[in-house]
Amino acid sequence: MNAINKILPPLKIGNLIAEVPIIQGGMGVKVSMAGLASAVANEGGVGVIASVGLGYSKSTRYNVDIGEKALRYEIRKARSLTNGIIGVNVMYAISDYERFVKAAIDENVDLIISGAGMPVDLPRYLNGKNVKLLPIVSSIRAFKLICEFWNHNYKRLPDGVIVEGSKAGGHLGFSYKEIIENKAQSLEQIVTDIITIADTYTPRIPVIAAGGVFDGADIAKYLNMGASGVQMATRFICTNECDVHENFKKALLDAKENDITIIKSPVGMPGRVVKNEFVKRMQKGETVPFNCTYHCIKTCNYKTVPYCIAKAMVNAAEGNFDEGFAFAGANAHRCNEIIPVKTLIKSLVDETLLYL
């Protein structure tokens, strides 16, 4: 096949057009900040700043004002570095959800991506602003519910939908049992089902596949199935521009396939991580007593959980892997070099064209 002179179909989300149909997935607690997001946007993709944990630090007691200030700072910084498309990821499960959504809208980000729960009230905060809203779902049921709810209560539909499968990194939208017993529906199946529903709306809702998408063959597979784009996170960790500590990137580079494991996260969801001594200790039932300073997740019962996930994430972001770990997708072991975002996106585009 000849890739010369061919270009990828751009990702269109309303009036937003990303020349490269790749959204860089939001990665919380200081993994995807302005540096990574702007670099991706500059290459024609969609750069996403993850809002959770931007204001966390060991030296200052956290409150939502600090978090909001940090989020506004990152959005403005990203805007100063690119004219491309910048989004913000706000997990529905976090206590600061409403403040962060309002701040992102006030800062006129191009889009908000929200999962880790059902962001049923997301359109409520728009105030007439043209910010695109993309929920993350892991089932056709969740997609239908959000469409019905938004349509009924706000007379609008999602501007796009991220369909996240069980091979994603971070917290997963499946039960621990489904993941461990390999019973979760495949991403291919969920994407196919959701496209059939998304295509019935006018205009059709763009479907974006996420979770384990690693190379051009994967991207082409979903585009050929009718998806409008993909969301990729893990691959962007191993770039020069990724904002996280070098030790985090190294954890992925050093990982072998059987180092990628599933934990029962203290916040009640399964999570995919790179196994290390800390993870092994927690899996054996060890606990790390703590005073909750972040109150990050609405449902976390911090008096009974074995350790603080936010603290573990802050440690990891700062390179301390004795008391932290890296979230990563199922294909993290395939990352074998740290490269510029430009190089990564160019190679992904070239590979994809070979399979389209």
The closest residue (CB) to ligand FMN is 329
Phi-psi region for residue 217, left (φ > 0), alpha (ψ -120 to 50) or beta? Answer: alpha
Does 255 participate in binding ligand FMN (rule CB under 6 A)?
Answer: no
Beta bridge mates, 134? 113
How far, CA to CA in Å, does 55 sit from each of 111, 159, 248?
21, 29, 19
Does 352 participate in binding ligand FMN (rule CB under 6 A)?
Answer: no
Does 213 participate in binding ligand FMN (rule CB under 6 A)?
Answer: yes
Give the shortest CB-116-to-ligand FMN separation in angstroms. Answer: 5
Beta bridge mates, 263? 271
Stretch that binds ligand FMN, among 63-71, 147-155, 231-239, 336-344 (CB under 6 A): 231-239
Give the shortest CB-18-to-ligand FMN separation in angstroms. Answer: 16
Query: Which one of 20, 34, 52, 305 is in contact with ligand FMN (CB under 6 A)?
Result: 52
Amino acid at 310: A
Query: Which one of 25, 35, 173, 216 is in contact with ligand FMN (CB under 6 A)?
Result: 25
Binders of ligand FMN in range 152-171 (CB under 6 A): 164, 167-170
Binders of ligand FMN in range 171-210 (CB under 6 A): 210
Token pair, residue 55, equals 């204001």
Q: At what angle do helices 64-81 and 97-106 cross, to 10 degrees?
A: 30
Asked if residue 329 lies in contact with residue 274, where contact means CB atoms within 8 angstroms, the answer is: no
Give the shortest CB-167-to-ligand FMN separation in angstroms. Answer: 6
Does 74 participate in binding ligand FMN (rule CB under 6 A)?
Answer: no
Q: CB-hemisphere CA count at 13 Å for 50?
A: 24
Compute the distance between CA of residue 253 and CA of residue 263 in angstroms, rounded to an integer. 20
3-state secondary structure of 328: coil
Does 47 participate in binding ligand FMN (rule CB under 6 A)?
Answer: no
Stretch that binds ligand FMN, among 10-18, 118-126, 300-308, 322-330 (CB under 6 A): 322-330
Give the shortest CB-2-to-ligand FMN separation in angstroms. Answer: 28
Give the shortest CB-171-to-ligand FMN separation in angstroms. Answer: 7
Give the strand pairing for 229-232 and 207-210: parallel
Compute the distance between CA of residue 29 and CA of residue 203 in angstroms, rounded to an integer. 35
CA-wise closest residue to 225 among 184, 193, 201, 183: 193
Query: Which one of 115, 216, 266, 270 is in contact with ligand FMN (CB under 6 A)?
Result: 115
Q: Which is nearer to ligand FMN, 150 or 235 (CB)?
A: 235
**Does an H or E element contain 271, and which?**
strand 270-274
Binding residues for ligand FMN, how many (CB under 6 A)? 29
Give the shortest CB-152-to-ligand FMN separation in angstroms. Answer: 25
DSSP codes of every residue in 61-95: ---HHHHHHHHHHHHHHHHHH-SSEEEEE--TTBT
Report the interface residues with ligand FMN, using CB under 6 A.
25-28, 31, 50, 52, 89, 91, 115-116, 136, 164, 167-170, 210-213, 231-234, 327-329, 331
